């Protein structure tokens, strides 16, 4: 079959779609992938037919407005800004996605492109399969990711999702109907999630049922397949496999370090953050390995003890994390899955999006602690990190990691895409 896959967003958003694309291509299907301009290599290095949507994933994250919203720490404000940016640059990505879907038998989409791909699937009369990295549809167990992640009654949880859907539709409804008009579709008053529900479009939950046991049997339309991780060969093709000799020597020169990584979330004050990491590591008597991610970390800035704190770029999580003692990160779905799969107690310092959800879930499962990145100080981080070193937390993290290691998320997701196409 011919599969069109849209994977916009940061590395954590894009990776599951690319891993799924590679799995489908390996089964003999004709796969084309649309990615942000700065992540096109992620597809081409895995041998996939890849096109750029013409905008970079980093553009809004690194803009003055985007950095201000992230520093504010409120997801709702950031998402409004991101939606406004998306509407401003939409014409280019729309054209790319329209061309991508022209000869497709099935479309696979991440959350960011659901508005467009839902319209394209409807216009072409073909199935749409969605990928979600956190519970984004109405359920009794959890509230919308756009409200504080407290425990609410089930009915209140459902209401937060309904309100979030309609709030987003007030911003995007006009945009969606203009796109529908270009495709020859009639206007609609129904938000995209409502139309997807009515069309019974599968919404694959790209996270583990072991991490979200409350939704293990959520809905046949929303199976929890696990987070599709990279294989060793795929990491080799990306140049991220194994551990370079210098890092390997540093790891071998002492006790397992703590891993600190903030993924695609730009760190506003690098020297201050590195100073906090160094001081906390010294207080705990551990070394620190810092994954710079998309932040411009100057190795010398804020570090007085290079033997204790080492800054690296992209690393092979599968090779490095099992050699660490615990992890501290922003709480993206992929990084959370990686740290827990490695059996590491985890401290989530959430910034926005679904990160507070993953932080709360880590706490609920008894395998870590969470705080907002805006609350990160030497005192708060020391308290959180010290608590995850408790033996019972470490035992629970190892048990949970063993369960995640048994999952074949990419294979199961590919099975379900083939099933959706066969039932067309």
pLDDT in tens, 172-194: 999 999 999 999 999 999 999 99
CB neighbourhood size of 411 (10 A)? 15
Nearest alpha-carbon partner for 329 in 256, 273, 229, 260 = 260
Cα dihedral 384, 385, 390, 391 sign: positive
230-288 tens-digit pLDDT: 998 999 998 888 788 999 999 999 999 999 987 666 677 788 888 899 999 999 999 99
Distance CA 333, CA 340 (A): 11
pLDDT above 70 covers a percentage of the chain that reads: 92
Query: CA 129 to CA 29: how far, in whole Å?
Result: 16
What pTM, to 2 d.p., does this model score?
A: 0.92
Q: Residue 289 pLDDT more than 80?
A: yes
Which stretches within 239-332 are classed as H helix?
245-252, 270-284, 317-320
Range with lowest mean pLDDT among 71-85, 218-232, 273-287, 358-372? 71-85
Chain mean pLDDT for the chain: 90
Domains of the chain: 2-226+408-422 (3.40.50.2000), 240-405 (3.40.50.2000)
pLDDT in tens, 98-121: 999 999 999 999 998 999 999 999
Can you read off the two tokens belonging to residue 51? 């096109």
Q: How confident is the model at residue 266, as a pLDDT?
A: 65
State yes or no: pLDDT of 73 exceeds 60: no
Q: What pLDDT is attached to residue 178? A: 94
Place of tokens 């020169």: 253
33/189 Cα distance (integer angstroms): 30
Residue 45's alpha-carbon distances to 18, 40, 415, in angstroms, are 11, 9, 24
Tokens 């659901």 sit at which residue?
Answer: 114
Higher pLDDT, 203 or 68: 203
pLDDT value at 313 more than 90 = no
Segment of 4-8, 167-171, 200-204 carrying the highest mean pLDDT: 200-204
Instruction: Note the pLDDT of residue 83.
Output: 74
User: In the prediction, which pLDDT does 164 show?
Assistant: 93
Cα of 131 vs its chain's centroid, Å? 11
Residues forming beta bridges with residue 52, ordered by sequence position: 35
pLDDT at 299: 52
3-state helix vs strand vs coil in the chain, percent to 5: 50, 15, 35
pLDDT (mean) for 158-173? 94
Order of all β-strands in the sheet with 326-329: 309-312, 288-291, 258-261, 326-329, 346-350, 368-372
For the ranges 78-82, 125-129, 374-378, which has the lowest average pLDDT? 78-82
Which pLDDT score, from 0 to 100, does residue 265 have? 66
| Banded model confidence at residue 296, pLDDT cuts 50, 70, 90 | low
pLDDT of residue 424: 74
DSSP H or E stretch at residue 375: none
pLDDT at 144 over 80: yes
What pLDDT score does 346 carry?
A: 97
């Amino acid at each position: 079959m011919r599969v069109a896959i849209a994977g916009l967003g940061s590395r954590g958003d894009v990776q599951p779609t690319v891993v799924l694309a590679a799995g489908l291509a390996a089964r003999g299907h004709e796969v084309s992938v649309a990615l942000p301009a700065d992540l096109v290599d992620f597809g081409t290095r895995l041998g996939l037919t890849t096109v750029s949507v013409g905008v970079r994933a980093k553009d809004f994250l690194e803009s003055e407005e985007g950095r201000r919203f992230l520093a504010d720490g409120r997801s709702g404000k950031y998402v409004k800004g991101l939606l406004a940016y998306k509407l401003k640059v939409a014409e280019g990505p729309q054209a790319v996605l329209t061309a991508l879907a022209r000869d497709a038998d099935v479309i696979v989409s991440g959350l960011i492109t659901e508005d467009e791909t839902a319209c394209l699937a409807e216009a072409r009369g073909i199935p749409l399969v969605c990928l979600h990295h956190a519970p984004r549809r109405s359920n009794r167990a959890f509230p919308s990711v756009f409200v504080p992640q407290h425990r609410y009654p089930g009915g209140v949880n459902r209401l937060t999702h309904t309100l979030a859907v309609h709030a987003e539709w007030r911003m995007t409804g006009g945009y969606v109907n203009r796109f529908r008009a270009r495709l020859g579709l009639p206007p609609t008053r129904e938000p995209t999630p409502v139309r997807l529900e009515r069309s019974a479009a599968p919404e694959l939950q790209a996270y583990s049922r072991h991490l979200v046991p409350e939704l293990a049997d959520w809905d046949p339309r929303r199976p929890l397949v696990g987070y599709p991780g990279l294989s060793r060969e795929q990491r080799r093709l990306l140049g991220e496999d194994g551990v370079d000799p210098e890092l390997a020597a540093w790891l071998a020169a002492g006790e397992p370090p703590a891993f600190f990584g903030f993924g695609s979330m730009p760190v506003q004050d690098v020297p201050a953050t590195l100073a906090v990491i160094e001081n906390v590591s010294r207080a705990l008597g551990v070394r620190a390995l810092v994954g710079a991610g998309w932040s411009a970390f100057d190795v010398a800035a804020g570090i007085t003890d290079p033997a204790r704190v080492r800054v690296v770029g992209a690393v092979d999580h599968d090779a490095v994390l099992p050699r660490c003692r615990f992890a501290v990160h922003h709480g993206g779905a992929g990084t959370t899955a990686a740290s827990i799969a490695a059996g590491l107690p985890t401290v989530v310092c959430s910034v926005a999006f679904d990160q507070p959800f993953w932080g709360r879930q880590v706490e609920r499962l008894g395998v870590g602690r969470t705080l907002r990145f805006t609350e990160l100080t030497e005192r708060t981080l020391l308290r959180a990190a010290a608590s995850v070193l408790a033996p019972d937390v470490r035992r629970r993290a190892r048990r949970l990691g063993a369960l995640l290691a048994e999952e074949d998320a990419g294979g199961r997701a590919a099975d379900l895409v083939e099933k959706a196409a066969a039932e067309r």
